[in-house]
Structure 1
Amino acid sequence: MRSIVIVGALSCALLGAAPASAAPEVRSAQFETYCSPIDPGLEELSGLTSMDGVLYAIGDSGTDHRLAVLDEQCAVARWLEVPVDPYDVEDLASHGGRLWLSDTGDNRARRDTVAITGMDPSTGAGELHRLTYPDGPHDAETLLIEPSGRPVIVTKELSGVSGIYVPVGDTSVDQLPSPGPTPLRKVGELAFERTATPGGPPFVAGSILATGGAISADGTVVAVRTYNDLYLFDVHDGDIVKALGNDPVVVAAPQQPQGEALAFDSDGNLLVASEAVASEAVASGAVSSDAANGPLPPIQMLRGAADLVVAERTDTQLATASAESESKSRWVLGAMAVAGVLVSLSVAYGVRTARRR
């Protein structure tokens, strides 16, 4: 997403448009450098996914004609040409042994259709699957694929209230017609509140804009990121849509110029990546030219990210069990008290009856 000036101006004009709920509790976390890309083809890194121990990455509009296969040091082992001419790829996912490119970027909200492109990770062969929104154009940078294969698109809205869309009929990605289009239906919303977490591009209310997503390898945790924070949701029975309606664990992301990409590895660690400094930020004077000409941002890792949700789930279960136990104890004590009163009344009645005789 390179249109920083456009997005920034609009978001500044809408500073009062976000929902007026309380800001979430944001946890701090220790990130470490996973690796540091050096290939200039990754300066607009926007999508990231891990499959079978291999990391794949793609940039957005202007660099999304090819996809990088990375080695353990984030050097490009090889490039795969995208099989169709993309418009604006903003996210990358993997499912069923294939790569799925989210060609859903639409900064100016003028596309009649968006698309998901399937790719073979070995040959690069693939096909286009067009999609249509039921309520007009949207910009979207988040693609999540449920264990069942159903794709879930989360839009990026300046209001901070993202729409959640799935194909009509809940069609899985590998069953979407090509080229389509397949109509989408709106199934929910994901509202973000502004946080005090630093980072992100200048002039943008980055903490309310959804810029990427990922699901853990076992399908039990889903992550959605903004420029500033990471939202981790507990997933039950593979239902991502339902999970996005629950309370998340919110973790402050490391400061990045324009953080958009994230992916879980097979161990439940979360990788986060960023585009380099935007040229528009340099032109505006918000960022120095020296910073723009510096090294690419590293890919950073939050170890045990999935475990944070597991721990939260355990705490919730223990709290619920404790509350139920306390409630049950109170019920038992109440019942005993009532029984005691009834016994006392019965005895008193018996004594009075005996005296009358």
Structure 2
Amino acid sequence: MGPVAVALGIVLGISGAGAGGVTAAHAAPDEVPGAPPRTGAAPGPAAPRPVCTAEDPRAAELSGLVAEGPPGAGPVRYRAIVDGGGTGEVLTLDPVTCAVTEIRDTGVRVTDVEDLGATPDGTLWLADIGDNRGDRGTVRLVELPVSGPARAHDLVYPDGPRDAEAILLADDGTPLIVAKTTGAAGVYRPAGPLDGGAAPVTLDRVGEVVLPYSATSGGPLGATGTRTVTGGAVGPPGADGGRVAALRTYTDAWVFPLRPPPDGRVSADALVEALRAAPLPVPLPDEAQGEAVALDGRGTLHSGSEARGLSPAGVRAVPGVATAATAAAAPVVAQPAEVPRTGSFPPWLPAVAGAGVLGVLLLAGIGAMVLHGRRRS
């Protein structure tokens, strides 16, 4: 698979494993000659609305989020993980109050779990990929099925240790890991199947994501945090507005429309391809430390923040994100020229008609003169 890039209407870097650097600029399509002027871009997403505040201290460091529910509907529960530490626990949160209703321990030793994803069969994937000091020889994904024991999958980067906080999951469980790097963030996928074996699976660097600076306020790092990828999510099958993927920073989410094959299953290749396109920006202002993101069956984006200072952890929602992202990606279709109403004439017709009548009269006059001359001779 070729390199990955985020097309944001800016100059961006594109590079694949072993490839030289390339730059490209993306701009709005040219207007179609003769077409009416554009009436404006597709409507953007709504402002985030509060859903609930996590008062329970066990959910204070909310870092990864999954919104579980039926197709076309909102969540019936949140699944969540908290940042840092050696816990391999998954919290179940009430989708109205954020109260912790259940805790499931994976029983797997972890170092720094940073994100949580799910596949359509309900399997949860814990991303033990945090590496603040850059000294981990391997990172780990923990596969937690609906029932039965968890399995650990160890992974090794091809270009040395790095910190990461975001995964995007294909429907078969193949992950894309996006590094937590300001600027060009590497995108990695396993070079082979994840079978839970003792030997770590090598990751391939399949490209990089380059996000722009944002004017959205919030986060702990100022302008730098607006470009730092802190979480990822893939929308479920049957979602209103179509399936999309999202990457978030401390201040914004960037939503990419997916184009799955006819069977509707999203592959790792489809995710890589989606990251080439221009995403929809979704501002998530004034979150103290926004790291969690999820997508539900209504096409709503759910955003979670850790507690920081006097700001508690909590969840907010932005409705209609999948629909807005799909509409924004739709090609602009030229409108046909206006057809004159019955009984009316275009403004240029009298002039053309007048010129035609005058021409006919002149020709008739010349013909009469010639005929008269012949008769006299």
TM-score band by shorter chain is 0.7 to 0.9
TM-score scaled by length of structure 2 = 0.69
- Residues 88-127 of structure 1: matches in 2 within 5 Å? 88-95=112-119, 96-121=121-146, 125-127=149-151
Q: Give the structure with the larger helix fraction.
A: 1
Paired AA for residue 200 in structure 1: G
- Offset of residue 120 of structure 1: 3.2
Aligned to 1:167: 190
- The CA RMSD measured in Å over matched residues stands at 2.7
Confirm or deny: 8 A CA contact 1:66 1:81 kept in the other structure.
yes
Question: Are residue 39 (structure 1) and residue 56 (structure 2) matched?
Answer: yes
CA contact (8 A) 1:50 1:94 kept: no
Q: Which amino acid aligns with 2:313?
A: P
| Matching residue of 1:309 | 325
Q: CA deviation at 1:147?
A: 2.3
Spell out the pairing of 1:1-357 with structure 2 (5 A cutoff). Answer: 29-52=46-69, 53-62=76-85, 64-72=87-95, 73-95=97-119, 96-121=121-146, 125-158=149-182, 160-169=183-192, 171=193, 175-202=194-221, 205-218=224-237, 220-237=243-260, 238=266, 239-277=270-308, 292=309, 294=310, 296-314=312-330, 316=331, 319=332, 321-322=333-334
Query: How far has the Cα of 1:62 moved from its partner?
Result: 2.2
Identity %: 36
| 2:235–2:243 contact (8 Å) kept in structure 1 | yes
Q: 1:115 to 1:204 in 2, by over 3 A?
A: farther
CA radius of gyration, larger in: 2
What SS does structure 1 have at the residue aligned with 2:327? Answer: helix
CA 77–63 in structure 1, closer or farther in 2 if over 3 Å, else same: farther
Q: Distance in 2 between matches of 1:37 and 1:260?
A: 15
Q: 1:63, CA displacement in angstroms?
A: 6.7
Checking the alignment, whether the CA contact within 8 Å between 2:302 and 2:317 is kept in structure 1 is yes
Q: Distance in 1 between matches of 2:116 and 2:213?
A: 26
Quote the offset at 1:180 in angstroms.
3.5
Whether the 8 Å contact between 1:21 and 1:193 is mirrored in structure 2 is: no
Q: 2:151, 2:159 → 1: CA distance?
A: 26
- Whether the aligned pair in 1 keeps the contact of 2:306 and 2:314 (CA below 8 Å) is no
Alpha-carbon displacement from aligned partner over 1:85-110 (angstroms, at most 9, x marks no partner): 21000000011321100000011111
| Cα deviation code 1:259-304 (max 9, x no counterpart) | 0001011211110001111xxxxxxxxxxxxxx2x46232000011
Deviation at 1:225, TM superposition (A): 0.3
Could you tell me whether the CA contact under 8 Å between 1:165 and 1:185 is conserved in 2? Answer: yes
- AA partner of residue 94 (structure 1): A
For 1:154-192, what per-residue CA distance to the aligned partner results, in whole angstroms no more than 9, with x for missing partners? 11113x1111111114x3xxx433344111101111001
In structure 2, list runs of 5 or more residues that go unmatched.
Answer: 1-22, 29-40, 70-75, 261-265, 338-377
- Aligned residues, how many? 282
Superposed CA deviations along residues 103-122 of structure 1, whole A, max 9, x for unmatched, are 00011111100010011345
| DSSP 3-state at the match of 1:107 | coil
In the alignment, is the contact (CA less than 8 A) between 2:86 and 2:109 conserved in 1?
Answer: no
- CA shift digits 1:211-254 (9 cap, x unpaired): 00101112720000011111011111231111111111112113
- Residue 82 (structure 1) shift: 2.9
- Match of 1:128, SS state, is strand
- Deviation of the 1:202 alpha carbon: 4.0
Change (3 A) 1:27 1:258: farther
